[in-house]
C-alpha cells in the first residue's frame, strides 16, 4: 500500500521532469513548445465552447422541465421485468450527454435511496462503466472537423448498453 501512495504522489512530477529532460537532451526549446501547445489548447477550447454550452443548456432544460421523470414513468412498465429500476432511466439518458449532470442525478438518487441501496450501487456501477457518448462525439469530432462518423454512434451506444447490462448483472449477483 505504501508503494501505491508513493507512486501516486510522485508519478506526475517524475513524468514532467522526464519530458523536460528529454526535450532538453534532444535540443528542443521546451518552454516554446509548451507555449505553442497551450496556445493550441486555448484555440481548441474556444472553438468547442458553443457546443459545450448548447449541450449543458439542453440537459438543464430536460432536467428542469420534468421530461426525464415523465419518460421514466412511461418506460416503467417495460423495465419492470428487466431488473433495471425505472428510477435510473433519467440517469441513463442524461449520462449520454453530460457527466456532471449525471453525477448530480446520482447524488439525488443517493439522497433518496442511499448509496448502498440497489439503485445506488447500480448508479455507481453504471456511471463508471459508460461514457458521455454525445458529448464526446460532438466535442472531439467538431474539434478535428470530422463530418462522417460512420459507426461511432452505434458502437458507442452498444458499449453503453453493455455497461448497463453488466451493471445490472453485477448488482443482482451481489444481492
Residue that the C-alpha cell 500500500 belongs to = 1
Number of neighbours of residue 60 by Cβ within 10 angstroms: 12
| 12: helix, strand or coil | helix
| 17: helix, strand or coil | helix
Q: Work out the average pLDDT over 140-161.
A: 87
**CA 134, CA 3: separation in Å to the nearest integer?**
38
**CA 27, CA 21: separation in Å to the nearest integer?**
10
In this predicted model, what pLDDT tens digit does every residue of 58-104 receive, in sequence order? 877 887 898 877 877 888 778 777 778 888 888 888 898 888 888 88
* pTM (2 d.p.): 0.68
**CA 133, CA 140: separation in Å to the nearest integer?**
11
pLDDT score of 2 more than 80: yes
- 87 contacts 105 by C-beta, under 8 angstroms: no
Q: Which of 23, 50, 49 is nearest to 34 (CA)?
A: 23
Q: Which residue has the higher pLDDT, 125 or 1?
A: 125
Amino acid at each position: 500500500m505504501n508503494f501505491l501512495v508513493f507512486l501516486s504522489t510522485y508519478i506526475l512530477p517524475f513524468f514532467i521532469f522526464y519530458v523536460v529532460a528529454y526535450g532538453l537532451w534532444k535540443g528542443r526549446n521546451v518552454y516554446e513548445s509548451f507555449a505553442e501547445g497551450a496556445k493550441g489548447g486555448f484555440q481548441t477550447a474556444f472553438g468547442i465552447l458553443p457546443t459545450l454550452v448548447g449541450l449543458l443548456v439542453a440537459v438543464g432544460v430536460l432536467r428542469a422541465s420534468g421530461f426525464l421523470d415523465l419518460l421514466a414513468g412511461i418506460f416503467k412498465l417495460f423495465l419492470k421485468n428487466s431488473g433495471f429500476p425505472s428510477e435510473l432511466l433519467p440517469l441513463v439518458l442524461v449520462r449520454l450527454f453530460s457527466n456532471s449532470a449525471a453525477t448530480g442525478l446520482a447524488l439525488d438518487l443517493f439522497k433518496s435511496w442511499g448509496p448502498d441501496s440497489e439503485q445506488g450501487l447500480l448508479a455507481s456501477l453504471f456511471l463508471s462503466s459508460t461514457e458521455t457518448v454525445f458529448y464526446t462525439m460532438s466535442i472531439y469530432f467538431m474539434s478535428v472537423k470530422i463530418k462522417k462518423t460512420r459507426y461511432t454512434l452505434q458502437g458507442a451506444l452498444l458499449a453503453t448498453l453493455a455497461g448497463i447490462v453488466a451493471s445490472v448483472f453485477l448488482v443482482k449477483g451481489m444481492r
